A and B are shown apart, each in its own frame.
Chain A
Amino acid sequence: NAGVMQNPRHLVRRRGQEARLRCSPMKGHSHVYWYRQLPEEGLKFMVYLQKENIIDESGMPKERFSAEFPKEGPSILRIQQVVRGDSAAYFCASSPPGNYGYTFGSGTRLTVV
C-alpha cells in the first residue's frame, strides 16, 4: 500500500508562471489536506477537501490559489502567477473519514525565481 504520493518533489517556476502540485492520497483515504511550510516555520493549514468537495479553505490565500480533488485522479493545488513569497514546501496529507491519523507525503518544494 503506497503512501501519500506527491509530485513533483521539486518545482522551479519563474515569477508570473503557474505551479501545479499533485497529491495522490493513500488507498482508502477520502480526505485530503494541504499545508504550507515557509522557511524556518511550522506548517500552516491551507485547505481540506473530500472527493469533489472543498470542506474548509480558511487557510487559502484569497487570490491566485485554488485546490481541487476530483472524483478520479489526484488532488491538485494550483498557484497562478507565482511570486517569490510563494516559495515554500507544500505538504499534502490524507486520512480516512473521521480520523486524525494523517499520513503526510514527502512534499513539493516550490522555488520561484
Chain B
Amino acid sequence: GDSVTQMEGPVTLSEEAFLTINCTYTATGYPSLFWYVQYPGEGLQLLLKATKADDKGSNKGFEATYRKETTSFHLEKGSVQVSDSAVYFCALSDGSSNTGKLIFGQGTTLQVKP
C-alpha cells in the first residue's frame, strides 16, 4: 500500500540555519502531497501542498517540490527561526480509496536554538 517515510528526528539547528527535512513516498497513481506542522499541544496545520509532479508548494518561507522521478517531497527553509520549532509531518492523499484519506509519515521534530 501507499506509504510515507520521513527522516528521523529530532533535527536540531541554530537560528538562521538552512533546513531540509527529507520525505519520500510510495504510491499508486498520482497522489497529492502535503506538509503539516504541529506545535506543542495543538492540532495539525497545513503548511503547504502540491498536487502534481514538478509543482512547488510554498508558505511562510518553507517550500517543497513534488519530484515524481525520485518520489520525494523534501521540505526546505533558508533561514529557520526559534518559532519554527515543531513537529513536521509529510503526507499523501490515498489515491486508491478516493475518499480524501491522508497517509502520514511518522513526523520529524525540529528544535531551533537561539
Q: A7 to B12, alpha carbons, bound, how many Å?
A: 33
Q: A111 to B105, alpha carbons, bound, how many Å?
A: 24
Residues of B within 8 A of A99 (CB): 100
Judged by a CB distance under 8 angstroms, whether A41 is at the interface is: yes
Q: Is the CB of A33 within 8 A of B105?
A: no
Q: Which of A56-113 contact B (CB under 8 A)?
A: 56, 58-59, 91, 93, 95, 99-107
B35-77: contact bitstring with A at CB < 8 Å (1 yes, 0 no)?
Answer: 0100001111110010000000000000000000000000000
Q: A40 to B105, alpha carbons, bound, how many Å?
A: 11
B2, chain A: closest CB distance, angstroms? 11
A1, chain B: closest CB distance, angstroms? 16
Q: Is the CB of A55 within 8 A of B104?
A: no
B87, chain A: closest CB distance, angstroms? 9
Q: A43-B89, A100-B93 are in contact. Are A106 and B106 (CB under 8 A)?
A: no
Residues of A within 8 A of B45 (CB): 104
Judged by a CB distance under 8 angstroms, whether B102 is at the interface is: yes
Smallest CB gap from A9: residue in B:
B41
Q: Is the CB of B43 within 8 A of A107?
A: yes
Judged by a CB distance under 8 angstroms, whether A31 is at the interface is: yes
B97, chain A: closest CB distance, angstroms? 6
Beyond the given pairs A59-B101, A95-B100, A100-B32, 8 more chain A to chain B contacts, judged by CB atoms under 8 angstroms and listed by A's residue number, are A42-B107, A45-B101, A91-B44, A100-B49, A102-B102, A104-B43, A106-B42, A107-B43
Q: Point out residues on B near A: beta carbons under 8 Å.
A: 4, 32, 34, 36, 41-46, 49, 89, 93-94, 97, 99-107
